[in-house]
């Protein structure tokens, strides 16, 4: 089985987003079907990587210990569905930091490509915001929008770039990306 890469945004794609940030394990709530969807990607031969803006760190709203606890909850719940995450790359900066890694800038995508020694050309990148789409496009990845999180609002604003497919949630997006999932291979 060929190994592929899939890139996922976190908030609004895997878990419910919050305007006040996700600051604790208790505030991290998986969206319906998202963990099963990640597991399905894994079983179809995909290594799944999360790339996420976490300005709550730079703003001092959370610390690394809390972020690690949130990600431990994510991976523990995901493992109950037989899924796993290969890596979580996060930008800890605020917009004022003007860093190279906060989406829509593609710094973390480029770091991932460097680490893996591969091109991200054509790699599916699931997100709920314009910044996810723009960062994915900057490295030649294939952006896919979900209507969870801020995705529906983006769609209704008419700002989804042409050619970007839109699905109700990660479950529907992964089903569309893996049309043969569930069939014996
Ligand atoms: Mg998001
Ligand atoms: Zn950054």
| Centre of ligand 1 from the C-alpha of residue 62, in Å | 17
Closest ligand to C-alpha of residue 127 is 1
This prediction has a pTM of 0.95
Contacts of 167 (CB under 8 A, 6+ apart): 144, 145, 146, 147, 173, 176
Which pLDDT score is estimated for 113? 97
Closest ligand to C-alpha of residue 14 is 1
| Centre of ligand 1 from the C-alpha of residue 8, in Å | 9
Catalytic residues: 9, 11
| Centre of ligand 2 from the C-alpha of residue 108, in Å | 8
Instruction: Name the strands in the sheet holding 87-91, side by side, starting at the edge strand that comes first in the sequence.
Output: 87-91, 46-53, 4-8, 124-127, 142-146, 166-167
Alpha-carbon distance of 118 to 88, in angstroms, equals: 17
**Pairing outcome for strands 124-127 and 4-8:** parallel
For helices 170-177 and 34-43, give the axis angle rounded to 10 degrees. Answer: 20
Q: What is the pLDDT along the chain (185 residues), one digit of tens a residue?
A: 567 999 999 999 999 999 999 999 999 999 999 999 999 999 999 999 999 999 999 999 999 999 999 999 999 999 999 999 999 999 999 999 999 999 999 999 999 999 999 999 999 999 999 999 999 999 999 999 999 999 999 999 999 999 999 999 999 999 999 976 555 54
Tell me the β-bridge partners of 4. Answer: 46
Alpha-carbon distance of 109 to 106, in angstroms, equals: 5
Alpha-carbon distance of 17 to 4, in angstroms, equals: 27
| Centre of ligand 1 from the C-alpha of residue 136, in Å | 13
* CB of 50 closer than 8 Å to CB of 8: yes
Closest ligand to C-alpha of residue 99 is 2
Which pLDDT score is estimated for 185? 44
Which pLDDT score is estimated for 162? 96
Residue 25, helix vs strand vs coil: helix
| Centre of ligand 2 from the C-alpha of residue 47, in Å | 23
Domains in the chain, please, with CATH?
Answer: 4-177 (3.40.50.1000)
């Amino acid at each position: 089985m060929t190994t592929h890469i899939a890139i996922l945004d976190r908030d609004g794609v895997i878990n419910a987003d919050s305007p006040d940030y996700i600051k604790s394990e208790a505030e991290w709530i998986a969206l319906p079907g998202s963990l099963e969807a990640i597991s399905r990607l894994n079983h179809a031969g995909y290594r799944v990587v999360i790339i996420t803006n976490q300005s709550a760190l730079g703003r001092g709203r959370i610390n690394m210990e809390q972020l690690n606890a949130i990600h431990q909850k994510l991976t523990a719940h995901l493992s109950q569905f037989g899924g796993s995450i290969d890596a979580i790359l996060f930008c800890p900066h605020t917009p004022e930091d003007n860093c190279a890694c906060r989406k829509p800038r593609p710094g973390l995508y480029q770091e991932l490509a460097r680490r893996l020694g591969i091109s991200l050309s054509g790699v599916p990148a699931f997100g709920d915001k314009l910044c996810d789409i723009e960062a994915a496009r900057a490295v030649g990845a294939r952006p896919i929008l979900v209507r969870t999180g801020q995705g529906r609002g983006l769609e209704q604003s008419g700002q989804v770039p042409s050619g970007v497919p839109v699905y109700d949630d990660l479950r529907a997006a992964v089903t569309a990306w893996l049309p043969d999932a569930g069939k014996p291979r």
